[in-house]
Chains A and B, each alone.
Chain A
Amino acid sequence: MDLLHDLLFDYTLRTVALGSAALGAVSGTLGVFAVLRREALLGDAISHAALPGIVLAFMLTGSKSTIVLVGGAFAAGWLGTALLRVITHQTRIPSDSALGIVLSVFFGLGLMLLTFVQKRPDAAQAGLETFLFGQAATLLQGDVIVIACLGLASVAVVTLLWKEFKILSFDPEFGGSLGFPMDRIELLLGTVLVLAIVIGLQTVGVVLMAAMVVAPAAAARQWTDSLGTMVWLAALFGGLSGAGGAVLSSTGGLPTGPAIVLTVSGFVALSMTLAPRRGLVWSWLAARRRRAAIRRDTVLADLYALYLQHGRLEHGHPLAVLEAMSEAGEGTRRSLEALEEEGLARRLVDGSWGLTTEGREAATELLAELQPENGDGGGG
Chain B
Amino acid sequence: MSGVELEIQLLAVTVGVACALPGVFLVLRRMALMSDAISHTVLLGIVVAFFIVEDLTSPVLILGAAATGVLTVALVESIRGTGLVREDAAIGLVFPALFSIAVILITRFAGDVHLDTDAVLLGELALAPFRRLEIGGLDVGPRALWVMLGILALNVAFLAAFYKELKLSTFDASLAAALGFSPVLVHYAFMGVVSVTAVGAFDSVGSILVVAFMIVPPAAAYLLSDRLGRVIWLSALLGALSAVSGYWLARWLDASIAGSMAGAAGALFGLVLLFAPERGLIALARRRARQRVEFTRQMLAIHLLHHEGTPAAAEESRLDHLSEHLRWTPIQAERIVDAARRAGLVTLDDERLHLTEAGRSEARKAMLR
CA distance A272 to B253 in the complex (A): 49
Number of interface residues of B (CB under 8 A): 63
Q: How far is the CB of B348 from chain A (nearest CB, A)?
A: 37
- B261 an interface residue at 8 Å Cβ cutoff? yes
Residues from chain A with a CB closer than 8 A to the CB of B117 are: 133
Q: CA of A262 to CA of B93 in the docked complex: distance in angstroms?
A: 10
**B310 contacts chain A at the CB level, 8 A cutoff:** no
User: Which residue in chain B gives the minimum CB-CB distance to A215?
Assistant: B93
B35 within 8 Å of A (CB atoms): yes
**Chain A residues near B35 (CB-CB < 8 A):** 100
Is A110's CB within 8 Å of the partner chain B? yes
Within 8 A of B (CB), among A197-240: 207-208, 210-211, 213-215, 217-218, 221-222
B86 near A101 with CB under 8 A, answer no
Chain B residues contacting A265 (CB-CB under 8 Å) are: 93, 96-97, 100
Closest to A119 in B: B254
Q: Is B297's CB within 8 Å of the partner chain A?
A: no
Given known A-B contacts A104-B212, A108-B263, A255-B107, A93 and B223 have beta carbons under 8 A apart: yes
Smallest CB–CB gap between B4 and chain A, Å?
19
Give, as a whole number of angstroms, the nearest-CB distance from A193 to chain B: 14
State whether A112 and B253 are in contact (beta carbons under 8 Å apart), knowing that A104-B262, A105-B262 are contacts in the complex.
yes
**A104-B209, A208-B99, A208-B100 known; A41 vs B269 contact (CB < 8 Å):** no
The answer, among A99, A111, A272, for a CB contact under 8 Å with B208, is A111
Say yes or no for B219: interface residue by CB 8 A criterion: yes
Residues of chain A in range 123-166 having any CB-CB distance to chain B below 8 Å: 129, 132-133
Main secondary structure of the interface of B (DSSP, over half): helix
Binds B, one of A20-28, A62-70, A84-92, A351-359: A84-92
Chain A interface category by residue count: 35 or more
A195 at the interface (CB under 8 A from B): no
- The interface centre, meaning the residue of A35, A103, A222 with most chain B CB atoms within 10 A of its CB, is A103
Among the interface residues A43, A93, A255, which one has the most CB atoms of the partner chain B within 10 A?
A93
A98 to B269, CA, bound (A): 11
Verify if B227 is at the interface (C-beta below 8 Å from A).
no
A182-198: CB near B (< 8 Å → 1, else 0) gives 00000000000000000
B31 closest partner in A (C-beta): A96
Whether A96 and B32, one on each chain, are in contact in the complex, defined by CB atoms closer than 8 angstroms, is: yes
Shortest B97–chain A CB gap in Å is 4
A257 to B216, CA, bound (A): 29
* CB under 8 Å from chain A, chain B span 108-147: 108, 117-118, 121-122
Residues of B within 8 A of A113 (CB): 255, 259
- Interface residue A254 (Cβ < 8 Å from any Cβ of B): yes
Q: A278 contacts the other chain (Cβ, under 8 Å)?
A: yes
Chain B, Cβ-Cβ closest to A98: B219
Q: Does B215 contact A (CB under 8 A)?
A: yes
Q: List the A residue with the shortest CB-CB distance to B102.
A: A258
* Docked-complex contact A115 and B265, CB < 8 angstroms: no
Q: Is the CB of B100 within 8 A of A262?
A: yes
Q: Is B211 an interface residue (CB 8 A)?
A: yes
Per DSSP, are chain A's interface residues mostly helix, strand or loop, or mixed? helix
- Chain B 79-90 per-residue mask, 1 if CB under 8 angstroms from chain A, else 0: 100101110110
- Say yes or no: A94 contacts B27, CB within 8 Å: yes
Counted as pairs of residues, one from A and one from B, with CB atoms less than 8 Å apart, the total is 210
CA distance A107 to B101 in the complex (A): 23
- Report if A91-B92 is in contact (Cβ < 8 Å); known contacts: A40-B86, A100-B36: no
Q: How far is the CA of A221 from the CA of B223 in the complex (A)?
A: 37
Question: Is the CB–CB distance between B262 and A97 below 8 Å?
Answer: no
Whole-angstrom CA separation of A259 from B96 in the bound complex:
11
Q: Which residues of A contact B40 (CB under 8 A)?
A: 207
Contact A115–B259 (Cβ < 8 Å): yes
A178 to B97, CA, bound (A): 41
Asked whether A40 lies within 8 Å of B104 as measured between CB atoms, the reply is no
Task: Tell me whether A290 is interfacial, beta carbon within 8 Å.
Answer: no
Contact with A90, one of B79, B121, B258, B281 (Cβ below 8 angstroms) = B281
Check A116–B103 contact: CB distance below 8 A.
Answer: no
A300 is an interface residue with CB less than 8 A from chain B? no
| Complex Cα gap A301–B96 (Å) | 53
Inter-chain contact A91/B223, CB cutoff 8 Å: yes
Nearest-neighbour CB distance to chain A for B200, whole angstroms, equals 18
Query: Contact check: which of A35, A90, A109, A114 meets B266 at CB < 8 Å?
Result: A109
Residues in A236-259 with C-beta less than 8 Å from chain B: 253-255, 257-259
Indicate if the CB atoms of B258 and A108 lie closer than 8 Å. Answer: yes
Q: Which 7 pairs of residues, A with B, have the shortest CB-CB distance?
A: A108-B262, A105-B266, A111-B259, A211-B96, A258-B100, A214-B92, A104-B212
B residues with CB within 8 A of A: 26-27, 30-33, 35-36, 40, 79, 82, 84-86, 88-89, 91-93, 95-97, 99-101, 103-104, 107-108, 117-118, 121-122, 208-209, 211-212, 214-216, 218-219, 222-223, 249-250, 253-256, 258-263, 265-266, 269, 273, 279, 281, 284
A–B complex contacts, Cβ < 8 Å, 25 sampled: A35-B85, A40-B86, A48-B208, A94-B32, A96-B30, A100-B35, A100-B216, A104-B36, A104-B209, A104-B211, A104-B215, A104-B262, A107-B262, A108-B208, A108-B260, A111-B122, A111-B262, A114-B256, A115-B254, A116-B255, A132-B121, A207-B99, A214-B93, A261-B96, A261-B97
